[in-house]
Amino acid sequence: MKFKMAGMIPAKEKSAIVILGASGDLARRKLIPALSVLREQELISKDSIIIGEGRSDFTDESFRDRFEICGDFREQLFYHQGIDGMKEFIKTKGDFKKIIAFLSLPPSSYSSTVEKLYNEGFREEVNIVIEKPFGRDYKSAHELNESIHRFYPESQIFRSDHYLAKEAVQNILIFRFANSIFEASWNSTYIESIQINAFETIGVEERAGYFDQAGSIRDMVQNHLLQMLCLTTMDPPVSLDPEDIKSQKINILKAIEIEEISRGRYDGYLDEKGVAEDSDTETWAELKLKINNHRWAGTPVYIRTGKALDRKGTEIGLRFRKRPHALYNPPAGTAPNEIIFKVQPSEGIILQLTGKNPGMELQLARTDMAFCYNDSFAGNNIPEAYQKLLLDALRGDHTLFVSAAETELAWKKLQGLPKTVGMIEYEKGTVPDSVFGDIWINFENYVGIC
């Protein structure tokens, strides 16, 4: 028996999905497996086709053999060399009212590829999905948007940020706006700080060429982490319409101000293949921000992200202010309440409270109330991020995609960053000491939960 993923509305139209750059790693690891699951779940039409495009000289069969697929889905997979002739090739396979063009390509080719698609004859029937990074600064992002908008309106452009499609990230808005008990305290009166971690244990590995041109701030903060911060701090939208959600995220981006920044890199980074000898690229970044609006005035935001650290994990933490006086208050004070959104690797939401230890004496102890996806939805086919993104692109739903205005605003915030003195060096498998002092939520306390 087959079960559709909960809450996933099928894309019923007969569609053609074109993956540009289909011989790359993203298509092999993420895109084709995601489409295979969508087909198995009957979320895309059995009459839809997937076309891989690239410069390599594959036949349909040799292209299919690159992937671990079988059954009917294998027969839906085709290959076409280059964009020239793609429109006619699709016509030979049938009449498709909706076409998705997924640009799994180097960012430098986005503008020229969009122009080629237009010149090939793709018009209002196509939705174009573009992978990050979208530009490397405000100027390049603005120029890229203008270049794309020469051919297609914003309604046909889907800028992908796969973090937005992660279940734990989507649940931030549900947690906040569908549960009235939290809204009254979701402000600077009660919340002491907002903290976001994005840690990786691996180094740059095969991405050294790209990463050395980007660094941790451009690679993670500008897109994934600022987007998660927007969802955590935005005001309630008037509806769930993508434009209303985008409007509230833009308000937060406008209000953000970066106050301090620290950069570092792991020992041996300069010896990595593909890294320039005189590289000034950071593999570690720690930032302090503030949000200049009524809701969050006085609540600092801290962001840490890096590679070759002691653990893998992405999480958002909100630490509440300590009570000024409590009846049950030991000499050292009670630990502040915390809410943790575990984004990866084990999704969940944890509320840290103070409770009583069992026994005859009155002893206070930390108590964790946890909502863990693996426990609550075991066997329920929790969708992987690219499954959701591809399905939403087919349906024309922009909710989990990033608009031109958001992209440019995020880059603008990173212009003129505060000057940093030197570069912190750290050993692989360790985390640099915080330059902001002992303010950090101890996220390690939550590693074993969920």
CATH number of domain containing 170: 3.30.360.10
Q: Answer yes or no: do 79 and 223 share one domain.
A: no
The Cα–Cα gap between 182 and 190 comes to 11
Q: Is residue 350 part of a domain?
A: yes
Q: Which of 80, 162, 224, 398 is catalytic?
A: 224
Report pLDDT for 450. 84
| CA distance linking residue 99 with residue 132, whole number of Å | 21
246 part of a folded domain: yes
Angstrom distance (rounded) from CA 298 to CA 268:
39
Report the alpha-carbon distance of residue 308 to residue 431 in Å, rounded: 9
Residue 142 within a domain: no
Sheet holding 401-402, edge to edge: 77-81, 49-54, 15-20, 98-103, 126-130, 157-160, 401-402
The pLDDT, as a whole number, for residue 201 is: 97
pLDDT at residue 333, as a whole number? 65
Residue 220 and residue 200 in contact, taking contact as beta carbons nearer than 8 Å = no
Residue 72: domain span: 15-131
- Helices 138-149, 110-119: axis angle to 10 degrees equals 0
What's the pTM?
Answer: 0.91
Residues 191 and 301 both lie in one domain: yes
Token couple for 121: 């004859």
Q: Is residue 7 part of a domain?
A: no
186/76 same-domain check = no
* Ranges of H-type helices in 186-269: 208-216, 226-233, 242-255
208 and 120 share a domain?
no
Which residues contact residue 379 at a Cβ distance below 8 angstroms, ignoring those fewer than 6 apart?
none
In a structure prediction context, what are the per-residue pLDDT tens digits for the chain, which is 450 residues long? Answer: 233 444 566 666 789 999 999 988 899 999 999 999 999 888 998 899 999 999 999 999 999 999 988 788 999 999 999 999 999 999 999 999 899 999 999 899 999 999 999 999 999 999 999 998 899 999 999 999 999 999 999 999 999 999 999 888 988 999 999 998 888 899 999 999 999 999 999 999 888 888 999 999 999 999 999 999 999 999 999 999 999 999 999 999 999 999 999 999 999 999 999 999 999 999 999 999 999 999 999 999 999 999 999 999 999 999 999 877 666 666 666 788 999 999 998 899 999 988 777 776 777 777 889 998 877 776 566 788 999 999 999 999 999 999 999 999 999 999 877 666 679 999 999 999 998 888 888 898 888 888
Q: What's the pLDDT at 381?
A: 66
Question: Does residue 179 sit in the same domain as residue 244?
Answer: yes
- Give domain status of residue 63, yes or no: yes
| Residues 38 and 173 grouped into a single domain | no
Q: Are residues 66 and 197 in the same domain?
A: no
Do 198 and 258 form a contact (C-beta atoms < 8 A)?
no
Indicate whether 117 and 169 sit together in one domain. Answer: no
CA contacts within 13 A on the Cβ side of 82: 4
Is 162 a known active-site residue?
no
Cβ 204 vs Cβ 313: under 8 Å? no
Q: Please tell me whether residues 273 and 221 are part of one structural domain.
A: yes
Alpha carbon distance 315, 342 (integer Å): 5
Residues 300 and 195 in one domain: yes
CATH number of 52's domain? 3.40.50.720
Domain annotation covers residue 159? no
End-to-end, the C-alpha distance of the chain in Å comes to 28
What total of structural domains would you count in the chain? 2
Handedness of CA 201, 202, 208, 210 (dihedral sign): negative
pLDDT of residue 328: 66
Whether 139 is covered by a domain: the verdict is: no
Task: Tell whether 269 and 120 lie within a shared domain.
Answer: no
Predicted pLDDT at 8: 60
Is residue 339 domain-resident? yes
User: Could you tell me if 305 and 365 lie in one domain?
Assistant: yes
For residue 115, the 8-state DSSP code is H
